Structure 1
């Protein structure tokens, strides 16, 4: 690539000088349009962006600037006539410049005088145009560009002007269509200049210009640095790789040694899952950076090294790197960096709580984080309360403690005007808290708020993934799975990380779908596929553990299921421990070992109530009722149901409610067998019908089959031939679907 690198001067920067001239001298309507455009440009670091406003244009043209005029002014609700007026005024000025001397005279006579000596922007009535103080944003820009222009060597001036001609060539047709006039005398002048240059032994200067613009592409170190930083942001947030053009520029021999280039390579290698290349790029990045400022960048290097190890599931190495970073920050008494490192650590162990066992005084470290972040960053301060909420939620400290810390995190994040991400993070924590408590409606409200406020496409997809997984956990299996499949198609070719996240969740949902359909072997095959996958999300990991155990229960491998429970019950998470104990009670009940199950289920009910886990409390009570049914205490069943049904229905968990109706039907059947009352028999059929309908809506064919088998038992006991025929027909249909 024929590339010219300047310190700060480019044809586009020259084009912006004409905009500043118009702002300073034009009539009010044009001047206000220029101000709108300048504000838009300053918000984007003076860069122009492509249509989707994602990637900066590396070599902008005057046509790109004219398109930005329309974009900026239309967004500010300006009249279309005024927009066209600004475009025409700008093109008139730029196309009047025919030679390098014209450009030089324009800068000397119209741009340099714009810099004033006062401290404010004002209109000098004696000279009739606005001026800018040198230290202002616009004044500083003018001073920097004009100073560099004046210091250019002659051959570089020619190359720059060549680039300027190419820059404006893109608007030739637009300008002519607006009634402009172009005098094409430049080509003859350039041919003459070319011969003079050759005769002056300056033949090494590339100075060929034509309407096609075959001269050098010009960019600046400052623009490249900004573009690289934008590209890093795009890679980190959206997984968008550098364009082929930018990649060619970065590999050009003309490019200065920019450390951001190595960081982009590091991110690209991570995206491709290339460990060796990512490690090498990271090493080269910090080899360059540390030499400039070793104290600051060594901290940063260790954090990124920990990130790298985390990405490849090397958790022990990640913890070693972050512990070293904490030690160095403490030695240097660098509280700002220390709070950031500790925040990273807690964010890491949030989904890997077993790693906290290797930490010294994690609770003390968390209190230190809360205390220090108050004066360092509102975002980190809010995050520290999110961590505390998550920690006490896992330890089961009760609803008051969860909501107290969640409220603090949310309140602080609302006042963090610079970081909307901290508010979204608090909303995500609210989703987790209300889901654990059992208020699914509020959980969805928090998720909807997070979706409404996020302006990052990757975050939006992540929130939708979480929403569908929560719906799956609440029993809405099929539709949540189908929506995840639709989401997967949107990221299939753009972001491997999000695609993998959706794929893993889809497979876990598929395990549940196969269990419901009686395809236990297929479910186990998916489990075997996922066993080598280090699941990063805590809820996902816990659901996977439960599904492994449930498969063995369905297959009646009770000893293996109990071994799996014992192998995971040590985990430092009360919620998971309760779930595993419930599965253990289910095994005891299925083995007709109800006495062994009795004391454990009572403990589980008490613990669920203490922790405020309403959904687990309801599930515990349903298992307890199943036990009472087998032991014949049907009156106790009715008393319990009378108290819990409003809370159970409010959970909005169709599968759990259907299980409850099934147990209630069993209770009424036991009562009917004992007292032979018609009302009891009607209640049996009523609640069994509700149960079967609920299981059908959940596509749980195994539970539907159990329902019709129970209906057959009822029909045979009551000698109801019509009911018996109905049960047989449906059992035949369900068995056909399962097979």
Structure 2
């Protein structure tokens, strides 16, 4: 069948069902199910803030005749022993000729309520009708469906009408033998006129009229242009809401439906644009975008020109061309103001604010000087405009951005929580699908507060309860955050397994593939550093080189891991230069306070490693002060550990012990095994130092020394255990050497020798694991 503009065999079957409803052939118990079925397949659903979004936004226009069986077979009719399916199929097979099909559409006019403009006398017409006849208002959903069907049928040319009739015969054919009653009605064949004339399959005239029906595929999908438009609109909604690509099965289906039809629908170019953009095919994306808006500008959709510029700006930014992106977004803002499109204007300003925060250095390099001064002023402006335009989605996102700004600048945590709960209230009240961003922000907040179990719980909640409705970006970020939480406890294999659980279709999107690739590389790099596998570290660092379009958080993690590698390798000069360069970049970009504290701690740790702890004292103290004000508890505990190490180096063992005694219990709740191990190691050094200050000549001094040494050994064992969990080979061997030195200082040469041999065994086993991993 050639592609019609509106009518399909499915819609003809729905019209038969509408006729049954208007003739009062349906019992009252079946009214709601039948009407729901008709409306769900004839009216395009629109999202409403008053009801939840349907699970299937697009109602498939290619549903088979079996769909009617599922709805009607369970409903009893007014005739004893018969179901509504029997009544429906009886009327379907009464359309037994092309003339009967014409009569069906002609009789549909009698289903509509009369108006004053009708030429016939409405009162006289009502007297001829049964008293229980239901008339449809012309403006009702069913009335609109019937009127449009009649109009589209009258517009059909004769050849197209014949093809519609043939398609209806093929669609109805599977019901010919369902019941004996239907078999009797269907005995006349596809056309009662042919049966009356004695024409049978094989005769020349019959073959000319209906011979092609045997060659048609009964499973072939029949769609109208209206169905194509609804299908493409659903695909666009999914692409924009989830941020993913078209699945392979759907891509093949669209190609099979659109290809043979010869249609050139402008929405298909926009679908191709999103799919090519997410796949990293920028040439095809630009071509499809230009094709779409070439069609749009030739029609009445010229007002949508600003959306072409908006998509162009986003695409240019993803491609790393920030100068072109700024030029396009400025033109978008100007055009949206001219056309008074507040939705496009507010979204453009929100996107510009997001880009200036995510890529500040690149945006400044491209000439962007800020939207409204400070970032907070910009968010206040966006929030006000979103309230005025009642753009609840934008308002919810702006509130979350305010919470992110409060966390990034180290401001009050209660204020950030206030913004987050305001956004949550708005999301629930207006039924906004913003759960992913809200939960990820909660996970970030609790991670900064040191409540790792709550942070992981929000990620698990997102994945298990909202995984089907959140965007693919939020879904992947939740998986990656869970993987990073797993490696904090030394479960590297579990973290990598979580990344492998991500749907393979996500790798078809370039941005998502790169994100997963970087996360996997960072986990492997951290593991290789702790295993002292320098060959693997070199290869991983050469492959993990962030560019201008890389996510800023991942770029920082890569640079931080590179600094850890240089420090662990003993390349202190290069590590110091890398720290200074990264700190300068973070300061210039007004980056997240967590990242800036991380560089301060890296510098203080480096000073301790090179034997100049006094130079790192002020740096570590400043990091601890800022972390305490911003409530960045893991950073605070790390800073206190560095301070304790410096105090131990300066001989202030009692002060270091008191500091660590107040920090360790809190750090244990964070479940960062490497942090806990470093704190225990520093605490053991404090007790060793205190033991050295005791006077062994007196009995009390000897007891105090023995107590301090035993506590030192206890904390050495705990540090070694935690280092072993994180596979930190060099640190674990360092704790064993401490045990050997303590045994030697006590004069137990045999035990010292055993610990030395144990050190060699652990080191060789660790190197063997590295070799086996490489093989």
TM-score range, shorter chain: 0.7 to 0.9
Instruction: Assess, with a 3 A threshold, how the Cα gap between structure 1 residues 185 and 207 changes in structure 2: closer, same or farther.
Output: closer
CA distance in 1, matches of 2:233, 2:92: 31
Instruction: Assess, with a 3 A threshold, how the Cα gap between structure 1 residues 567 and 104 changes in structure 2: closer, same or farther.
Output: same
The 5 Å alignment of 1:340-419 reads 340-355=347-362, 357=364, 358-360=368-370, 361-363=373-375, 364-376=377-389, 377-417=391-431, 419=432
Q: Is the counterpart of residue 491 in structure 1 residue 505 in structure 2?
A: yes
Equivalent residue, structure 1, for 2:119:
none
Q: Is the counterpart of residue 526 in structure 1 residue 540 in structure 2?
A: yes
Deviates most, 339-348 or 327-336: 327-336
The 5 Å alignment of 1:119-268 reads 126-172=130-176, 182-186=186-190, 208-213=211-216, 218-236=222-240, 237=242, 238-241=244-247, 242-252=250-260, 254-255=262-263, 257-268=264-275
Deviation of 1:533 (Å): 4.8
Equivalent residue, structure 1, for 2:697:
none
Q: Is the counterpart of residue 673 in structure 1 residue 692 in structure 2?
A: yes
Q: Is the counterpart of residue 701 in structure 1 residue 729 in structure 2?
A: yes
8 Å Cα contact 2:246/2:275 also seen in 1 = no
Instruction: Assess, with a 3 A threshold, how the Cα gap between structure 1 residues 549 and 420 changes in structure 2: closer, same or farther.
Output: same
Q: Is the counterpart of residue 288 in structure 1 residue 295 in structure 2?
A: yes
Equivalent residue, structure 1, for 2:50:
none
Deviation of 1:140 (Å): 0.7
Question: Matched residue of 1:130: which SS?
Answer: coil
Deviations 1:8-46 (A, max 9, x none): 111111111123234442223443431342354367659
CA distance in 1, matches of 2:175, 2:97: 18
Instruction: Assess, with a 3 A threshold, how the Cα gap between structure 1 residues 186 and 149 changes in structure 2: closer, same or farther.
Output: same
The 5 Å alignment of 1:435-446 reads 435-446=447-458
Equivalent residue, structure 2, for 1:560:
574
Deviation of 1:159 (Å): 1.6
- Give the alignment's TM-score, normalised by structure 1: 0.87
In structure 2, runs of 5+ residues without a counterpart are 47-54, 116-125, 200-204, 695-701, 769-775
Instruction: Assess, with a 3 A threshold, how the Cα gap between structure 1 residues 171 and 695 changes in structure 2: closer, same or farther.
Output: farther
Deviates most, 670-679 or 366-375: 670-679
- Give the alignment's TM-score, normalised by structure 2: 0.83
Equivalent residue, structure 1, for 2:564:
550
Deviation of 1:522 (Å): 1.0
CA distance in 1, matches of 2:106, 2:576: 86
Equivalent residue, structure 2, for 1:735:
764
Instruction: Assess, with a 3 A threshold, how the Cα gap between structure 1 residues 644 and 414 changes in structure 2: closer, same or farther.
Output: same
The 5 Å alignment of 1:318-717 reads 318-330=325-337, 334-355=341-362, 357=364, 358-360=368-370, 361-363=373-375, 364-376=377-389, 377-417=391-431, 419-421=432-434, 423-451=435-463, 452-456=465-469, 459=472, 461-472=475-486, 474-488=488-502, 490-491=504-505, 495=509, 497-534=511-548, 536-570=550-584, 571=586, 572-573=590-591, 574-675=593-694, 676=702, 677-717=705-745
Equivalent residue, structure 2, for 1:198:
none
Aligned CA RMSD, in angstroms, stands at 3.6
In structure 1, runs of 5+ residues without a counterpart are 47-51, 196-200
8 Å Cα contact 2:322/2:363 also seen in 1 = no
Deviation of 1:128 (Å): 2.2
Question: Matched residue of 2:320: which SS?
Answer: coil
8 Å Cα contact 1:62/1:168 also seen in 2 = yes
8 Å Cα contact 1:351/1:538 also seen in 2 = yes
The 5 Å alignment of 1:300-311 reads 300-311=307-318
CA distance in 2, matches of 1:503, 1:173: 57
CA distance in 1, matches of 2:498, 2:347: 34
Deviation of 1:269 (Å): 2.1
Deviation of 1:181 (Å): 5.8
CA distance in 2, matches of 1:174, 1:719: 98
Deviation of 1:701 (Å): 2.4
Instruction: Assess, with a 3 A threshold, how the Cα gap between structure 1 residues 292 and 153 changes in structure 2: closer, same or farther.
Output: closer
CA distance in 2, matches of 1:500, 1:702: 32
CA distance in 1, matches of 2:730, 2:742: 19
Instruction: Assess, with a 3 A threshold, how the Cα gap between structure 1 residues 161 and 464 changes in structure 2: closer, same or farther.
Output: same
CA distance in 2, matches of 1:194, 1:11: 27
Instruction: Assess, with a 3 A threshold, how the Cα gap between structure 1 residues 99 and 309 changes in structure 2: closer, same or farther.
Output: same
Deviation of 1:731 (Å): 3.8
8 Å Cα contact 1:61/1:168 also seen in 2 = no
8 Å Cα contact 1:477/1:509 also seen in 2 = no
Instruction: Assess, with a 3 A threshold, how the Cα gap between structure 1 residues 453 and 85 changes in structure 2: closer, same or farther.
Output: farther
CA distance in 2, matches of 1:586, 1:176: 88
Deviation of 1:307 (Å): 1.8
Question: Matched residue of 2:134: which SS?
Answer: strand
CA distance in 2, matches of 1:214, 1:347: 52
Deviations 1:300-334 (A, max 9, x none): 11110112113323333223322332344345554
8 Å Cα contact 2:245/2:279 also seen in 1 = no
CA distance in 2, matches of 1:569, 1:176: 84
CA distance in 1, matches of 2:758, 2:450: 38
Deviations 1:697-737 (A, max 9, x none): 22322322222222222222223433651452254133332
Deviation of 1:164 (Å): 0.5
Instruction: Assess, with a 3 A threshold, how the Cα gap between structure 1 residues 437 and 57 changes in structure 2: closer, same or farther.
Output: same
CA distance in 2, matches of 1:244, 1:90: 34
Deviation of 1:524 (Å): 2.5
8 Å Cα contact 1:194/1:207 also seen in 2 = no
Deviation of 1:105 (Å): 3.1
Deviates most, 685-694 or 588-597: 685-694
Instruction: Assess, with a 3 A threshold, how the Cα gap between structure 1 residues 116 and 717 changes in structure 2: closer, same or farther.
Output: farther
Deviates most, 680-689 or 284-293: 284-293
8 Å Cα contact 1:10/1:220 also seen in 2 = yes
Instruction: Assess, with a 3 A threshold, how the Cα gap between structure 1 residues 170 and 565 changes in structure 2: closer, same or farther.
Output: farther
Deviation of 1:408 (Å): 2.7
CA distance in 1, matches of 2:491, 2:360: 28
8 Å Cα contact 1:356/1:362 also seen in 2 = no
Instruction: Assess, with a 3 A threshold, how the Cα gap between structure 1 residues 132 and 713 changes in structure 2: closer, same or farther.
Output: farther
Deviation of 1:194 (Å): 14
Instruction: Assess, with a 3 A threshold, how the Cα gap between structure 1 residues 35 and 516 changes in structure 2: closer, same or farther.
Output: same
8 Å Cα contact 1:259/1:288 also seen in 2 = yes
8 Å Cα contact 1:61/1:170 also seen in 2 = no
